[in-house]
Structure 1
Amino acid sequence: MDFLESLVILFFLLILMLFFILTHKSQKPTTVIPMDWPILGMIPGVLLNAHRLHDYLTTILIENGGTFMFKGPWFTNMDMLFTTNPLDIHHILTKNFSNYPKGDNFRKIFDILGDGIFNSDGELWETHRKVTMCVFKHAGFQSLLETILWNKVEKGLLPILESISRQGKKMDLQDIFQRFTFDTICELLLDHDPKSLSLDFPYIPSLKAFSHSEKAILYRHVTPSSFWKLQKLLGVGNEKMMSDAWKTIDLFIYNCLNQNSNESNNMKCAHQDEKFLPLTAFMREFKDQRVCFGDATKFLRDTLLSLIVAGKDTTSSILSWFFYILAQNPSVEDKILEEIHTHLEVKLGERLNAREIGEMVYLHGALTECLRLFPPLPFNHKSPLQPDILPSGHQVNQSTKIILCFYSMGKMKSIWGEDCMEFKPERWVAKRGGIKHEPSYKIPAFNAGPRTCVGKDMALYQVKMVATMVLYHYHVEPVEDHIVLPEDSVVLQMKHGLKVRVTKRTGIN
């Protein structure tokens, strides 16, 4: 199909969509399940609810028993099976893992990630995982992480909260957490602190670019590929935003890599051994694994970009939703404070390590409950290599796109009971006082099976550290009438941020 033909068909589809949307608006819907229109499928219903995709899909799945077959426009190959069934998810992510690789379609949608761990399959993915785990478990990495995190909390986050608290100003806490995690992960992986977390809140193009690319990627999931590819060709709409973001991100990462390369060349070998550098460790480990780089700098860029995305977005998303939901549940906040005072008060002037933070069971329960309701990655996207039958009875083949709906899972009574919408940290506290565990396929906030997030422990440590220090020093209260909604993005951010006021707790110096 040539360019002109595609353009004519897309124009025809847009006219039809407009007609059906206007017709649908004049009718009173009797169900949330979108109507399957001739030619257009269910796209008009999706477009009508494009401003609230995650919650709209959740409502459909609840009404439809947890699974739903979305019918896309004729000839676009956009039919998708949405599921929240834990057994389906266990089957896809674990039991029949080899039949559900990322695949070419996933790579096309997430093309900005290149050959990084999120896009890789087979031998390359296994190498990525082995190398990343090796670096993350290195004693030097753990020490560096704790040092960078503590310094950024002590010299960056707390002073900013103190200044805003004294002035009585309202602030966007999500923006602050995104800046905090961006600086932290960049300093850790690139040996470069962008210093986005400062009192003047500077505009950092690369930070904004990440959010723009994630929003564009979501829309690639719900629009015909011919449509977003045409946008890409013409340089308009979401694809223009993606292209600009890609250039900005590349400029930032390559500049950091060049700077590190120049500094390494100017340093004496003896001095290089004094500091553990993850950047150097990754290159060394990949060479030890005899990975064929091709363009070694491009391969390193792809590797680091995936890890930066995970380290920045996962942590900031969890922290934002945690403080939001905590504000709705003051009794939970009181219990966490009591636990902090019991376990850590004598040490809060000192650097806290992972073991000490890990001893707080109720805090862990509250964070896990937050992850159940607000997972940082709201969905996953899979297709089988060979035809398969899911435990739910659905037959799937190579052309079936399966969306694993992690965000919707936390709202399903069939999984969590009648009180599924309640925030109850006690779900995760065992009767004898320890941590209660559930299978990862039931709460796949960090994915499940062989592709479980390699940075899970690192992310939880960061979140617990930040939550502990902020809660101990300040009370966070959302601004009245501020509406909090999930952003339409592949990362569960807040559409309008999290506007709050912070008050210093009495008796804290």
Structure 2
Amino acid sequence: MASLCYCDILLVVLCFLCLLFWGTRPGIPWNWPLLGMLPSLLRKVRRIHDNCTNLLGQTGGTFLLKGPWFSNMDMLATADPANIHYIMSANFSNFPKGPRFLKIFDFLGDGIFNSDGDAWRNQRRFAQLQIGHHRFHRCLVKTSQDKVEKGLIPILEHVAKGGQVVDLQDVFQRFTFDTTCILVTGYDPCCLSSELPDVPFSKAMDEAEEAVFARHVVPQIIWKFQRWLGTGQEKKLSKACKTLDHVIAKYIAMKKDALSNGINLKEQEEGVDLLTSYLQEDEMMGGFKSNDKFLRDTILSFMIAGRDTTSSGLTWFVWLVSTHPDVEAKIREELKSVIPEEEESNKWRLFKAEEVGKLVYLHSALCESLRLYPPVPFQHKEPLQPDILPSGHPVHPKMKVMFSLYAMGRMKFIWGEDCLEFRPERWISDRGTIKHEPSYKFLSFNAGPRTCLGKEVAFTQMKTVAAAIIHNYHVQLVEGHIVHSESVQVAFIILTGRPRF
């Protein structure tokens, strides 16, 4: 009898293990008692984007991930454009950033990306006016062209002549860090130079972002306990915030001092940075001029938005083009087509803003790269009130709704059977113009009232850099180098591909 009981117990254990490791469908997380699906998610966190794509592909585009019972970590993952349109536009007021978002991104303070309601609307209105102003556009064009000519090109020339391997992700991050800092504060940290120096401001941003990513995965009670103890990623975040606060405070003080000494940047032909605009247009901001905390939060928010998104987009773009020689050839031909007839089309040159604005195929290739490798691969929201999404899934307050932009670019029901192909032509209309895709389908620049204010800034910088590299160089991926979607660190060899005259 005892042996029979042992056999029964063994059979139950074996059945449980079979369910645990195989489940009903491969790729579907096992829902553990008490722990929910967290162990399965942590086991797959290194390939989280590909695993999420596989999961959503098997479940019709939407799936409820159960968190531990004590954690309020239930999360509805979706790649359904109908759900995203509903959340981001149709019922926007019921899906603010929410208190959990504010806790995770608390180091950003009360800036535009953390704000909701009237505070967000006021900040967005003013930021939109300044970013859309011709003074800022002049600053954008000059900054981008100068940094390409005096910062990026010397580094590429150096590695090309020496036959060296270079991590372009690092180079592009330095480029966008410098340009974003100039556009936002008016000061150049000189991160992009031949010495490739360690810049404390940039390093602090890296460490802050790593801690924020950990907060998305680890239960709130755990990371808050780590913060209380001063250990782990929370210790790094605390140290990083001190560096960020110190550097930004220095920039604000320098700018106030410059303006008080009679420097009128409004009259400069080179344009005006955002910090200058915020300080000079104090009456439009309701007295924020003396509020250094607001300026700090605003500067940091714009720095985070401008640096990583553009550098990530450029890295994946160059990787895709380097592995698709047919696309590279078409971009080169298009670049030649905008060069004035009196110039030799094979001569080494940089491209002006009005020239890159005519490059339809280059623009479409950038869009296609952003579709497959969005710089921000996921977003999340929380409903204020119970609701039912168009997919039929109920949501309630304290439930996180996460949409995977990475998975959306790989869904056949969204982009067709060739969704995994890098095909820029899908973005070109029959008339030869850029084809508009709804923002809730192509979410790289957000959607609805929170559509990214810096979309044109990003495209201007990316096209300026891409045109300079593709026309003047040939980029090769290091043979045998493995690239993962979770990391955009890619090793390249830069070859001088154009004759010199």
Per-residue deviation at 1:269?
5.4
Q: Residue 285 in 1 paired to residue 288 in 2?
A: no
Change in 2 beyond 3 A, CA 1:350/1:260: farther
Q: Measure the CA separation in 1 of the matches of 2:186 and 2:19.
A: 53
Does the CA contact (< 8 Å) of 2:185 and 2:276 recur in 1? no
Please give the secondary structure, in 1, of the residue aligned with 2:216. helix
Q: Residue 430 in 1 paired to residue 429 in 2?
A: yes
Q: Which has the larger radius of gyration?
A: 2
Give the equivalent residue in structure 2 for 1:504.
Answer: 496
Give the equivalent residue in structure 1 for 2:202.
Answer: 207
Per-residue deviation at 1:35?
0.5
Per-residue deviation at 1:311?
1.0
Q: Deviations over 1:453-491 (max 9, x none)?
A: 00101111110111001111111111112222234xxxx
Per-residue deviation at 1:25?
12
Give the equivalent residue in structure 1 for 2:5.
Answer: none
Per-residue deviation at 1:26?
9.6
Q: Measure the CA separation in 1 of the matches of 2:428 and 2:500.
A: 29
Per-residue deviation at 1:399?
2.1
Give the equivalent residue in structure 2 for 1:59.
Answer: 54
Q: Measure the CA separation in 1 of the matches of 2:460 and 2:288.
A: 34
Per-residue deviation at 1:356?
2.6
- State the percentage of identical aligned residues: 47
Does the CA contact (< 8 Å) of 2:473 and 2:498 recur in 1? no
Give the equivalent residue in structure 2 for 1:162.
Answer: 157
Does the CA contact (< 8 Å) of 2:348 and 2:499 recur in 1? no
Please give the secondary structure, in 2, of the residue aligned with 1:182. helix
The one-letter code matched in structure 1 to 2:479 is E
Q: Deviations over 1:241-281 (max 9, x none)?
A: 2222222222221122122223333x235677546342121
Q: Paired residues, what number?
A: 478
Change in 2 beyond 3 A, CA 1:62/1:319: same
Higher alpha-carbon deviation: 360-369 or 48-57:
48-57
Change in 2 beyond 3 A, CA 1:79/1:86: same
TM-score (norm 1): 0.90
Q: Measure the CA separation in 1 of the matches of 2:348 and 2:128.
A: 31
Q: Measure the CA separation in 1 of the matches of 2:94 and 2:21.
A: 43
Per-residue deviation at 1:432?
2.0
Per-residue deviation at 1:385?
1.1
Give the equivalent residue in structure 1 for 2:8.
Answer: none
Change in 2 beyond 3 A, CA 1:24/1:508: farther
TM-score (norm 2): 0.91
The one-letter code matched in structure 2 to 1:264 is L
Q: Measure the CA separation in 2 of the matches of 1:96 and 1:311.
A: 28
Does the CA contact (< 8 Å) of 1:441 and 1:448 recur in 2? yes
Please give the secondary structure, in 2, of the residue aligned with 1:344. coil
Alignment of 1:73-472 (within 5 A): 73-265=68-260, 267-268=261-262, 273-274=267-268, 276-290=272-286, 296-344=291-339, 346=343, 352-472=351-471
Please give the secondary structure, in 1, of the residue aligned with 2:338. helix
Change in 2 beyond 3 A, CA 1:350/1:501: closer
In structure 2, stretches of 5+ residues that fail to align are 1-16
Please give the secondary structure, in 2, of the residue aligned with 1:75. coil
Change in 2 beyond 3 A, CA 1:423/1:26: same
Q: Measure the CA separation in 1 of the matches of 2:281 and 2:124.
A: 11
Please give the secondary structure, in 1, of the residue aligned with 2:164. coil
Change in 2 beyond 3 A, CA 1:338/1:233: same
Change in 2 beyond 3 A, CA 1:270/1:139: closer
Does the CA contact (< 8 Å) of 1:83 and 1:402 recur in 2? yes
Please give the secondary structure, in 2, of the residue aligned with 1:68. strand
Per-residue deviation at 1:410?
0.3
Does the CA contact (< 8 Å) of 1:109 and 1:220 recur in 2? yes
Q: Measure the CA separation in 2 of the matches of 1:109 and 1:287.
A: 32
Higher alpha-carbon deviation: 165-174 or 197-206:
197-206
Does the CA contact (< 8 Å) of 1:473 and 1:508 recur in 2? no
Change in 2 beyond 3 A, CA 1:233/1:432: same
Does the CA contact (< 8 Å) of 2:178 and 2:189 recur in 1? yes
Q: Residue 34 in 1 paired to residue 29 in 2?
A: yes
